[in-house]
């Protein structure tokens, strides 16, 4: 059985177990929100019936399978995190756009969450520089649409699947100004490196004025002893694109001996390079 056949069977199974427009009867509640708003909530709000747990399992499996198939040949990547609310022309948008172009010239595929704002700026910079630009989008009640600068995009139902994919294919992470989601993504990458779950890939924090209090909090943690002083060295703060690129070159390309990807997709599996 080919992966295309397996994917089709899983999609068929998922359609039979698809979350409905209202909460299941077992929760004792009436209609609330569209299904795109409750996929993660349904998973996280305690135990469900066996059939409910099974359809959630299928939903997660299909998310991962779709992501793996779409993104398998995109790397090596650098993932750029940041706010969806920053507009073109604003200084952090233009800084991110410049960074996206510089990462392309360094030979990386630029990966983002696929949405507007900082994500769009990074993808746009990569696209304008002639590079590969990909997005890993998320289904939300207000329908966050992929920005027009992604060459390839996959949309996830589950946030944790999306975060896994944004980490999985990248050899460095650039964190621009953002909100709670950006801080969550920064914490995820930092914790995975700190605990040895992934290698010591560079984390670049850009927007020093914006992140001043966060950096002070990290220093306080080190002083109190809730993190190691060595953990502070896992983040490289800078507002210079040139410095960031040189740091990534030394601590990613040279440190891990990265080479241009050799892509060998199998057309009979429906794969694209």
d(CA 247, CA 7): 40
Q: Is the confidence at residue 63, as pLDDT, over 50? A: yes
C-alpha 14/C-alpha 12 separation (Å) is: 5
Give the position of tokens 């940041």: 82
Domain extent listing, the chain: 3-69, 73-254
Q: In this predicted structure, what is the pLDDT of residue 10?
A: 55
Q: Give Cα separations from 104 to 116, 122, 131, 209, 215 (angstroms).
A: 19, 10, 5, 26, 28
- C-alpha distances in Å from residue 30, one per residue of 20, 49, 227, 273: 11, 17, 45, 46
User: 50-71 vs 3-16: helix axis angle to the nearest 10?
Assistant: 140
**Reported pTM:** 0.85
Judge whether residue 267 has pLDDT over 90. no
Tell me the two tokens of residue 87.
Answer: 């507009």
Q: Which of the residue ranges 54-58, 201-205, 206-210 would you say has the lowest mean pLDDT?
A: 54-58
pLDDT for the residue numbered 123: 99
Bigger pLDDT: 271 vs 100: 100
State which H helix or E strand residue 173 sits in. strand 170-175
Of 189, 167, 160, residue with least CA distance to 111 = 167
Question: Within 10 A of 272 (CB to CB), how many other CB atoms are there?
Answer: 12
Nearest one of 240, 75, 259 to 168, comparing CA atoms: 75
Q: For 242-247, what is the mean pLDDT?
A: 98
What angle, rounded to 10 degrees, do the helices at 91-105 and 241-248 form?
40
pLDDT of 139 higher than 50: yes
* Sequential DSSP letters for 113-148: -SSSTHHHHHHHHHHHTT--EEEEEE--TT--PPPT
Residue 69: the pLDDT is 93
Question: In a 3-state reduction of DSSP, which class is residue 227?
Answer: coil
Q: Which residue has the higher pLDDT, 87 or 1?
A: 87
**Percentage of the chain exceeding pLDDT 90:** 71
Instruction: Determine contact, residues 111/131, Cβ cutoff 8 Å.
Output: no
| pLDDT bucket at 44, cuts 50 / 70 / 90 | confident
From CA 74, how far away is CA 109, in angstroms rounded? 7
Higher pLDDT pick, 35 / 72: 72
pLDDT for the residue numbered 39: 76
Position 240 confidence tier, pLDDT thresholds 50, 70, 90:
very high
Which pLDDT value is given to residue 260?
A: 73
* CATH number for the domain whose boundaries are 73-254: 3.40.50.450
Number of H helices, E strands in the chain: 9, 7
- When the pLDDT of each residue in the chain is averaged and rounded to a whole number, the result is 87
pLDDT at 264 over 90: no
CB 173 within 8 A of CB 191: no
Q: What's the CA gap between 188 and 180, in Å, rounded?
A: 12
Name which residue leads in pLDDT, 146 or 37: 146
d(CA 137, CA 147): 9
The better pLDDT of the pair 125, 22 is held by 125
Please list the alpha-helical segments (H only) found in 74-211: 91-105, 118-128, 159-168, 180-194
Rounded mean pLDDT of 81-94?
98
Provide the pLDDT for residue 22: 36
Alpha-carbon gap, residue 10 to 7, rounded angstroms: 5
Share of the chain above pLDDT 70, in %: 81
Query: What integer pLDDT is reported at residue 239 of this predicted model?
Result: 98
What pLDDT was estimated at residue 24?
Answer: 41
Q: Give the range with max mean pLDDT: 8-12, 48-52, 57-61, 140-144.
A: 57-61
What's the confidence (pLDDT) of residue 40? 78
């Amino acid at each position: 059985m080919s992966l295309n056949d397996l994917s089709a069977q899983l999609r068929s199974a998922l359609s039979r177990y698809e979350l409905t427009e209202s909460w299941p009867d077992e929760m004792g509640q009436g209609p609330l929100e569209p299904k795109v708003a409750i996929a993660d909530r349904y998973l996280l709000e305690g135990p469900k019936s066996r059939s409910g747990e099974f359809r959630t399992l299928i939903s997660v499996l299909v998310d991962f399978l779709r992501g793996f198939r779409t993104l398998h040949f995109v790397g090596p990547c650098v993932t750029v995190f940041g706010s969806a609310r920053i507009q073109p022309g604003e200084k952090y948008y233009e800084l991110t756009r410049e960074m996206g172009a510089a990462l392309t010239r360094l030979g990386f595929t630029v990966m983002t969450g696929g949405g507007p704002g900082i994500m769009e700026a990074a993808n746009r910079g990569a696209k304008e520089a002639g590079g590969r630009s990909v997005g890993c989008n998320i289904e939300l009640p207000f329908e966050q649409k992929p920005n027009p600068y992604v060459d390839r995009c996959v949309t996830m139902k589950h946030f944790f699947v999306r975060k896994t994919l944004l980490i999985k294919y990248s050899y460095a992470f650039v964190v621009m100004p953002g909100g709670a989601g950006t801080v969550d993504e920064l914490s995820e990458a930092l914790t995975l490196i700190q605990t040895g779950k992934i290698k010591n890939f560079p984390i670049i924090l850009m927007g020093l004025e914006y992140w001043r209090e966060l950096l002070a909090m990290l220093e306080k943690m080190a002083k109190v002893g809730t993190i190691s002083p060595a953990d502070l060295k896992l983040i490289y703060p800078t507002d210079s694109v040139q410095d960031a690129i040189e740091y990534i070159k030394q601590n990613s390309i040279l440190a891990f001996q990265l080479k241009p990807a050799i892509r060998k997709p199998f057309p009979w599996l429906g794969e694209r390079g």
